Amino acid sequence: MSAFPLLSDRPRVHQSFLYDARGVALYEGILGTPEYYLPAAEEALLQANLDALTAPLSSRLALVELGAGDGGRTRRLAAEPLVYAPADISAESLSLNEAGFRGSEPLAARRAEGWTAAFTLNALSHVNDITGTDFDTADWRHVAEYDAASTSVRTHVEARRAVVLSVPAEGGGRRELRRFAAGERVFVEQSRKFSEEETRRLAEAAGLRLSRSWASDDYLIAELVRGSA
Ligand SMILES: C[S@@+](CC[C@H](N)C(=O)[O-])C[C@H]1O[C@@H](n2cnc3c(N)ncnc32)[C@H](O)[C@@H]1O
């Protein structure tokens, strides 16, 4: 994975850098924080509609899950898939996923403060591990802003002070890669909500059809199937 977008005028760190072993653990921590209401909203909707959701799954030959993570929620839905194929960029997630399906103990205890900031800043440490850059997470703060127009939360890291970023030089020593001014931001992630109508439109553009859906005030579960309406 290249860190090249870091050098652009609108620098970014690809969101896949959020997920190394530590990132996966921190994400699990976020799921357990009381202010992150989505897991509880999802759980309530799953629970209320479990029979309808799981009924068609038992006859499926294979369940392929993209970005499966630890598979915790999937285990609720797919008690007996003949084949389960989780795909995830994180090897750690897949190990946890496998352990979960084999019936091992659940993940480490959750709930502490500052999970989200630690999760975002950990992406910089992950970039260091992969590319040899020298981000010091103490130089950066996590900034998450809600944009009502696009119903999305945009997450950046913002330089607390002027930062000079360097990488190992070929002949030894270090080579300056770029400078960040105090207050300059690096884009990390956008998390967006989609209405049922938007989901339907996106699905159709991708050759899929929204066949069934379940909604509460805070959450939407949509079933997409191949083929147009
Ligand atoms: C927000 S988590 C969701 C995990 C799980 N689906 C759940 O609902 O708990 C996103 C997952 O996508 C994975 N992921 C992120 N970028 C990816 C990529 N480019 N390819 C495959 N997996 C990716 C992450 O490792 C992570 O497990």
pLDDT (0 to 100) of residue 80: 61
- In tens, the pLDDT along 156-169 reads 999 999 999 999 99
217 part of a folded domain: yes
Residue 15 token pair = 């969101």
The whole domain housing 223 covers 195-229
57 part of a folded domain: no
Mutate to test the pocket of ligand 1, among 1, 13, 15, 16 (most ligand atoms within 8 A of CB): 16
Cβ(122) – ligand 1 distance below 6 Å: no
123 in the same domain as 145 = yes
pLDDT band at 99 (very low <50, low <70, confident <90, very high): confident
125 in the same domain as 182 = yes
Cβ(74) – ligand 1 distance below 6 Å: no
Q: CA angle, corner 57, sides to 54 and 58, nearest 5?
A: 100
- In tens, the pLDDT along 60-89 reads 667 788 888 888 778 777 666 567 888 988
Ligand 1 center to 79 CA (angstroms)? 21
Q: For ligand 1, what atom is nearest to the CA of residue 90?
A: 25
187 in the same domain as 200 = no
Residue nearest to atom 10 of ligand 1 (CA): 67
94 part of a folded domain: no
Cα→Cα distances 155→8, 25, 144, 162, 190, Å: 17, 19, 4, 20, 6
pLDDT (0 to 100) of residue 18: 94
76 part of a folded domain: no
Indicate the number of domains in the chain.
Answer: 2
Of 26 and 72, the structure prediction assigns the larger pLDDT to 26
131 in the same domain as 156 = yes
